[in-house]
Structure 1
Amino acid sequence: MNFFEQTGKVALGSRLRMLTDKVTEDGKQIYKMYNIDMQPKWFPVFYSLSKGEEKTITEIAKSIGHSHPSVSKIIGEMLKKGYVQEKKDQMDGRKNIIVLSDLGIEILDKLEDQLIDVNAAVDEISKQTQNNLWEAIGEWEFLLEQKNLLRRVMEKKKEREGYKVEIINYEPKYQEAFKSLNEEWISTYFTMEETDYKALDNPQGYILDKGGYILVALYDGGPLGVCALIKMEDEEHDYELAKMAVSPKAQGKNIGFLLASAIVEKAKSLGASKLYLESNTILKPAINLYHKLGFQKIAGKPTPYTRCNIQMELLLD
């Protein structure tokens, strides 16, 4: 069993590099066979200039999908060979224009027979395979433009680690975690206030005995997140989502979303029609999470918190 059979798809990058190296090395030999003094990496630039157009390095980079520094380096190498010319744009003297030189045009003419034979060889390989590599590359490129591999792996990581999260009802043994987790984020960005201490020092009397609920997120058995559902006295809203806190150690584990989603479901199960919350726009991840759950900004109402500068609600009907 070879290396790639053992590692599987996680070695995709290494396998593609090996394939690229093989094709590139063959490409060097193919150019020699046709008596063309050229490096394979120059071909996209040659092709971009093949219609006789004058282009800036930026325009070339955009047309072939390469970075500006990469194209700039290739142009420098081609200038030394005498295959391209560089001149000032007549309309804008600040811009440098690149065009094929007479020698470059001669090389381009030599390429015609080579390209015919290379295309035929690639077609022959495609006919001998069950999967069309060329079309598959196009599909991969399209999908990775929509969402790159890094983002996809991040989502899978969150999904996998989310399976280790257990959302449970509050028990007295989690009072210290409820307080410390909230104190941690509040003290980091703001100052603890009187209403904070009322809720955190006595969650039983301030929240639970008044018809509220507290959920705790356990990760590998340890409490790393908490969130409260506080029964409100006003007629407009039934419950307030409050005292939501997730340990910095739990970053990237999707705990915040799972915890908030569980609180929303709890409110629905209680027959609530609206869910209310107060926050601060400096807490961008939290605000983004609330928007993701469907919360919308509403006009302000009296609040006991000086740090509150945004109020939101979620319609549950």
Structure 2
Amino acid sequence: VMLSAKGKKMSDIMAEQYPDVEAAVEQISSQTRNDLWRAIEEWEGLLAEKTLLERVKEAKKEREGRDVSIVPYDPRYRAAFKALNEEWITAHWQMEEPDHHALDHPQEHILDKGGHIFVALYREEPVGVCALCRKNDPVHQYELAKLAVSPSAQGKGIGMLLCRTVIAKAKELGCKKIFLESNTLLRPAIQLYRKAGFREVEIYRPSYERVDIQMELALQ
């Protein structure tokens, strides 16, 4: 690859103009209050740490997060609690008997047994749910269960907000370790649990046929 005769001529002309360009830039720099080159260097450093696209996504999540609120369960959210969970379960598996118990009768099978349910509202519409179930277990007093977020509302940090709300409630109740069951097919959910601090433990007496991973989080 080489320059043509015309290209060489243009290169020589440009080389002659380099000092002129440099002098013009220096003149502008001397008349400004801020150092443009230092600012560019700072921008490059910040963008190397985190791209502009990543920053835009974070800003979007933060903005949309201001429209999200987490509220305690109310009977008016019963249909949403069932529908949101049925959606992710039936996408991969068949509903099992414990699913029907919890989703058809949340009052009797979760709340009346000392558990709690939280609902995520996005612009006042229920788009996410999560339960804190009381367990008859000497090690794991409570279980994080039935976490579901509508596909239309994913990417807004709602799953993490629900997890943190449930964990905070477990701490308030004096729980030492909180437990959960899941399946590794649900990769985003497993990543979420790990980010929240849960660690994998050896599987013991799973409650559902689909369970292939159990995790726990020490709270004290």
Q: Classify the TM-score, shorter chain.
A: over 0.9
Distance 2:204 2:172 in 1: 26
Structure number, greater radius of gyration = 1
Deviation of the 1:107 alpha carbon: 6.8
- Name the aligned partner's letter for residue 207 of structure 2: P
Distance 1:229 1:289 in 2: 17
Deviation of the 1:173 alpha carbon: 1.7
- Name the aligned partner's letter for residue 230 of structure 1: C
1:1-317 matches, within 5 Å, as: 79=1, 82-83=2-3, 112-317=15-220
CA-to-aligned-CA distance 1:146-187 (integer Å, 9 cap, x gap):
111111111111111111111111112211111111001111
Paired residues, number: 220
Distance 2:139 2:11 in 1: 75
Question: What SS class does the counterpart of residue 230 from structure 1 fall into?
Answer: strand
Distance 1:112 1:177 in 2: 70
Question: What SS class does the counterpart of residue 205 from structure 2 fall into?
Answer: coil
Deviation of the 1:113 alpha carbon: 4.0
Question: Taking structure 2 as the reference length, what is the TM-score of the superposition?
Answer: 0.92
Distance 1:239 1:105 in 2: 77
Say which structure is richer in helix. 1
Distance 2:219 2:8 in 1: 69
CA-to-aligned-CA distance 1:173-229 (integer Å, 9 cap, x gap):
211111111001111122211111111111111111111111111111111111000
Question: What SS class does the counterpart of residue 131 from structure 1 fall into?
Answer: coil
- Sequence identity percentage: 55
Distance 1:129 1:189 in 2: 62
Uncovered stretches (5+) of structure 2, i.e. residues with no partner: none
- Name the aligned partner's letter for residue 190 of structure 2: I
Distance 1:191 1:154 in 2: 35
State the superposition RMSD in angstroms: 2.0
Question: Taking structure 1 as the reference length, what is the TM-score of the superposition?
Answer: 0.65
Higher RCO (CA < 8 A, seq sep 6+): 2
CA-to-aligned-CA distance 1:117-136 (integer Å, 9 cap, x gap):
32222111111111222221
Distance 2:164 2:8 in 1: 64
Question: What SS class does the counterpart of residue 184 from structure 2 fall into?
Answer: coil
Distance 1:104 1:291 in 2: 59
